[in-house]
Amino acid sequence: MTETSEDTALHADFLEWLRCFREYVLFQASSGATGLPRDPAAQVVAASNVPALTEPPASFKPPAPEPIIAGVPSLPDLVPQRLAVAASVAPVPLAPEEISARLAVLQQRVAGCTQCRLHETRTQTVFARGTRKSGICFVGEGPGADEDEQGLPFVGKAGQLLDRMIAAMGLARDDVYVCNIVKCRPPENRKPQPDEAQACRPYLQEQLDLLKPDVIVALGATAVEGLLGISEGITRMRGKWKLFQGQTAVMPTFHPAYLLRNPSAKHAVWDDMCEVLRHLGLPVPGKTK
């Protein structure tokens, strides 16, 4: 079949449309738009999955350009302009009331979760406590017996010690947000299994996406592993800044339950909390007993 001038023009228009669409997809991937990965590593993957445009055959000759109406830019000229404008528009942050409302909806979803075996033995789910007023989010391992009974994280002896740590930092108890890697108590307070932590991961991810904390304090090795996928041992990692998804500062430190068994480690944890305050530009109180 002989290719007509009309077919040639359609071919050229289609290639131009593909080029514009490819630029749009790359922009969406690099800006972290909804439905596309937001972390740098995933962006590279997303960009690499966009197929290269197929070059026209050697025999193809594009038609002569049509006359341009004075003052009206062509489609290829408009696309980069629109992309530049879109890239300059920052996402509108959610109002505190909207964040609270979305967290409440998420908490209801968690309350009915049956994604792993932990729901079989729980009294109730344990979602979170506090606010993001200070910009700090403490993440622990999982609920214990007291937490399972009351439905709030860190309310037992370890939680009382955490509250004293928060007070020593010059912060009110509810100025920080406190949650756990898993939302149901593991039997006999054992460490959550990998599949259990993985089942709860979307809930924790959504919490952090809504809160956007300035600093995450990872309490213990399980919290570090659940957040970052690192299992080097908390003694080696504590006090060394890490990054959650390449953007949020994470301070690994000992779990308060460990401090109850090893009081001498309190000094190390206090040093870590002082580093958190310095990172946030907050005053560092004198050492307390």
Q: What share of the chain is helix, strand, coil (3-state, %, to 5)?
A: 50, 10, 40
- Tell me the pLDDT of the chain averaged across its residues: 82
Tell me the pairing of strands 242-244 and 248-253.
Answer: antiparallel
Contact 258, 223 (CB under 8 A): no
Tell me the pairing of strands 177-180 and 242-244.
Answer: unpaired
| pLDDT value at 262 more than 50 | yes
Q: In what order do the strands lie in the sheet with 136-140?
A: 129-130, 177-180, 136-140, 215-219, 248-253, 242-244
Contact 177, 135 (CB under 8 A): no
| pLDDT value at 75 more than 90 | no
Q: What residues have CB less than 8 Å from 73, skipping those under 6 apart?
A: 81
Q: How many CB atoms within 10 Å of residue 215? A: 21
- Percent of the residues in the chain that have a pLDDT greater than 90, as a whole number: 65
Using the 8-state DSSP alphabet, how is residue 99 labeled? Answer: H
pTM of the predicted model as reported, rounded to 2 decimal places: 0.69
Contact 153, 147 (CB under 8 A): yes
| CATH architecture of the region 96-280 | 3-Layer(aba) Sandwich (3.40)
Long-range contact pairs involving 231-237 (C-beta distance under 8 Å, separation at least 24): 234/258
Q: Of 65, 185, 77, give the one whose Cα is nearest residue 127.
A: 185
pLDDT given at position 249: 98
Of the pLDDT bands very low, low, confident and very high (cuts 50, 70, 90), residue 92 is: confident
- Bridge partners (DSSP) of residue 145 are none
Start-to-end CA distance of the chain, whole Å, equals 89
Q: Give residue-wise pLDDT tens across range 118-168.
A: 999 999 999 999 999 999 999 999 999 999 999 999 999 999 999 999 999
Q: Which of 37-46, 92-101, 159-168, 252-261 has the lowest mean pLDDT?
A: 37-46
The domain spans of the chain are 5-88, 96-280
pLDDT given at position 19: 72
